[in-house]
Amino acid sequence: MKVFSRRNLILLAVLAAAVAGLYLWERAPAPVTPVRIARAHEGNLAQRFRTNGVVEPVDFREIHALAPGRVAAVLVKEGDRVKAGESLARLDDSEARAAVAEANGQVLEAQQAVAKARSRATLNQLEAQIVAAKADLALATSNQQRDEVLLKQRAISQLEFDESAAACQKASEHLAELEKERDAEARDLGPLEEQRAKARLEQAQTLLQNAQNRLRAAQVPSPLDGTVLAKPPRPGTLVSTGDLLAKVGDTDQLQVRAFIDQPDFSSIQTGTPVEITSNGFPGEVWHGEVQSLSAELTTIGKRVVGEAVCSIKQGPSSLPVNSNVDLTFTSREIPGVLLVPIDAVVQKNNRNYVYLLKHGVLALQEVQVGASNTDSVIVRSGLNPGDGVFNDLEVQPREGLRVQPR
C-alpha cells in the first residue's frame, strides 16, 4: 500500500505553500499610506466670525410723498446721475396751487388784522399826548389871564400880553389836533388785540409755508448730487402721504450694513477690521472696518442681533449697490501660541486627541486645547513645536497606521 497517494501529496503541497505564504506575509513590512501631515507651529490666532451684509451708499436719501396725489410724469430711470434740486418726477399739483393761493389770502387778512390791532398802541400814545397838551393849555390860559390883569394895571406891555395870548392859542390848537387824530384812530380800531392778531398771522404764514413746500415737493426734486437708486412709480400711480417716491445716493462712497448675532456682536467694537467678499467677484477681497454699532439689540425673527455699519476701502472692482456680500470680522488676535489645524483634533469620550506622527506610524495623543477659529486651534499641552499631526480628510486614520507625509 502506498504511504502517500497523489491526493495526499497535493494537499501537503498546498499546506506547505500556505505556511510559507503566512510566514512571508508576517515577515514583510506593512504597507505605507501617503497622507497629509501638518506641523504644530507657534503663531498668532486671529479669532474670526462670518456673516453677510448689504452694500449701500454712505450718503443716501429717500423721498416720500408729503401729500396724496397722482404721478403725472417720471423724468429719470434707475442708474441716472442727477444734481441736487433736479426734478425726478412731476405730481399733479393742482391742489397744492389752490392751497398756496388760499394761504396767501389768509396771510394778507392776518397782516391787516395786526395793523389794526397795533393802532391801539398808537391810540394809547395819543391819549398820553392829549393829557400833556391839556396841562400845557391850562398853564397857557392861566398865564394869559394873569397877563390880562397886569396889562390893565399897566404892569406889562401890550407886546408881552400878545405873546401870552398867542401861546394860549397855540396850545389850544395843538390839543384840538391831537383829539381829532385820537378820534380817527378810535373809529378804525378793530376788535382783535395785537397778540391774537400776531398768532393768527403766524398760523397763516405756517400754512403758506407748508403749501409752498407741497408745491415744490410735487416736482420731486433730488435732495443731493448722486445716482438714482429707486425710480418714482410709473405715471398715473396714486400715492399716499409717506409713500416712497424715489431714492438717491452718492455711489462714490459705499458702506456695508450687517446684522450680527448677539454672541458675536459683543466681541467687536468700532475699528474692528473686516474682510469683504462677493460671489459676483470670485477671488477678490475688499477691506474695511467697523464704523458704527447700534446702541441696542433688536429681534429679527428668532434672532437677537445688533447692527454694524462697515466702511469699504477701494478694491479691485466696484461693488454694486444693494448687492449681498460676505463679511469676515477679526474680533481679536492672541499672539505667541502653539497652533494646529482645527481638523486635526478629534474628540473621544469628551477628550481631545490628535494622531501624532512617530517614526512613520500614527499614535493617538491626548492634547489640551484653547481658543480656535475656523482654521486653527490653540494647543495648550500635549505637543511641541514641529510635531507632525495627521490632517487628511481623504484617509481614515487609526493608531499604528504606517504613513508617509505628502
CATH 2.40.30.170 fits 46-56+253-405, yes or no: yes
CATH 2.40.110.10 fits 96-213, yes or no: no
Q: What is the mean pLDDT of residues 75-94?
A: 90
**For position 341, what pLDDT does the model report?**
96
**For position 1, what pLDDT does the model report?**
45
Do 337 and 44 form a contact (C-beta atoms < 8 A)?
yes
Could you state, in order of their start, the residue ranges of all structural domains in the chain?
A: 46-56+253-405, 59-92+218-249, 96-213
Cα distance between residue 63 and residue 82, in whole Å: 14
- Residue where the block lists cell 400711480: 237
395-405 pLDDT per residue, tens: 999 999 999 99
Residue 25 pLDDT exceeds 60: no
Q: What is the mean pLDDT of residues 353-382?
A: 93
Residue 238 pLDDT exceeds 90: yes
Torsion of CA 131, 133, 137, 143, to 10 degrees: 100
Do 352 and 376 form a contact (C-beta atoms < 8 A)?
no
* 99-102-103 Cα angle (round to 5): 85
Q: What CATH architecture does domain 59-92+218-249 belong to?
A: Beta Barrel (2.40)
Q: What is the mean pLDDT of residues 315-328?
A: 89
Do 247 and 47 form a contact (C-beta atoms < 8 A)?
no
Instruction: Provide the mean pLDDT of the chain.
Output: 86
- Residue where the block lists cell 403749501: 211
pTM of the predicted model, to two decimals? Answer: 0.53
Of 25-39, 115-129, 241-255, give the lowest mean pLDDT range.
115-129
Do 81 and 406 form a contact (C-beta atoms < 8 A)?
no
Q: CA 323 → CA 33, 56, 255, 286, distances in Å?
A: 47, 8, 11, 14
Cell numbers given for 168: 394860549
**For position 351, what pLDDT does the model report?**
95
DSSP 16: H
Q: Are strands 254-261 and 41-57 parallel, antiparallel or unpaired?
A: antiparallel
Who has greater pLDDT, 93 or 347?
347
SS3 109: helix
DSSP string, 333-399: EEEEEEEEEGGG-EEETTEEEEEEEETTEEEEEE-EEEEE-SSEEEEEES--TT-EEE--TTS---T
